[in-house]
Amino acid sequence: MVLRRDAHRLAGHEGADGEDKRRPGAGAAHQGKERRTPPGLALAPPREHAVDGFQTIVFEKDAGLAWVTLNRPHVLNAINLQMRDELWEAAHAALYDPDVGVVVFRGAGDKAFSAGADISEFGTAPSYVEARRARQQRDLWALLHEFPKPLVAAIHGFALGAGVELPLFCDLRIAAEDARLGLPEVNLGYIPSAGGTQTMPRTVPRGVAMHLVLTGEPLSAQEALRWGLVHRVVPRSELYAEAERLARLLLERPPAVLRLAKAALRHGPDLPLDEALRLDGRLARRLLADADARRSLAARLAGEG
């Protein structure tokens, strides 16, 4: 959840009185048409196919990869309801597309992966019943949690609130040196509501998660690396190349192995050890019954022989 305002304050856009010091109208998430071309992505290679119809994200496919770009840079890629729905649509499309093996998330512009939920929409939600129904029909976080294909997050600048909760559902997180990651909802009198209170302590030590949630203070990229919140830190100019390198490394692995390995890692740690070991055995037996996995194993063994 949250924190476009916190990102503006940290970036020096907001004065002590809370007034936005950027150009007039820059913070109005709901005004005007969303920009389609993400600035700051000149270093990224052109993609072979872009899917039209989205206004808040860019969805591109390139030789097995799906690139999903959060594309509201004028508001630090704040996640509004439309973006959440479009992220769900993109993830759903990638899930059922046999030509997509790995999904990479990134943010447009130079300042942020995402500053979190768009606070300009607070208080404008439909009734509680309608909101619950919409979330059940298009639950982005549940979809990402159970996503069988590898998910990669390429993080730069601010990743706050929902802007860090989304990467927490990803399997690999690469950060640029300028990244700042945090859960500052407490500053708005709220708690993380996109899974952060549950996914963060499953990712970093409990004490670190407590500090992030209770104080709202962000971590630098190096601090995030030290505590396991990100897996690698690279110069900003190398971020997308490194994300693509890791994604293509995953594409070389048997899909069935990746799918079942993710299932074991996702569900096993929440089980008693004896049950987790039985789960491990069941998944291993399923691999032995998978024709593609058997062929891959035989080919690798033959190559080493």
Cα angle vertex 120, ends 114, 124, to 5°?
125
Cβ proximity of 173 and 155 under 8 Å: yes
CA separation for the pair 103, 83 (Å, rounded): 17
CA 256, 259, 263, 265 torsion: positive or negative?
positive
Strand pairing report for 112-114 and 65-70: unpaired
| 242 is known as an active-site residue | no
Token pair in block for residue 246? 């890791």
Comparing CA positions, the residue from 264, 268, 260 lying closest to residue 288 is 260
Q: What is the dihedral angle through the alpha carbons of 254, 260, 266, 268, rounded to the nearest 10 degrees?
A: -130
CA separation for the pair 25, 32 (Å, rounded): 10
CA separation for the pair 281, 287 (Å, rounded): 10
CA separation for the pair 288, 297 (Å, rounded): 9
Q: Where are the beta strands (DSSP E) in the chain?
A: 49-51, 57-62, 65-70, 102-107, 112-114, 151-155, 158-160, 172-176, 180-182, 219-220, 232-234
Catalytic residue among 14, 60, 185, 244: 185
| 217 is known as an active-site residue | no
Catalytic residue among 14, 60, 86, 165: 165
Q: Which residues are catalytic?
A: 165, 185
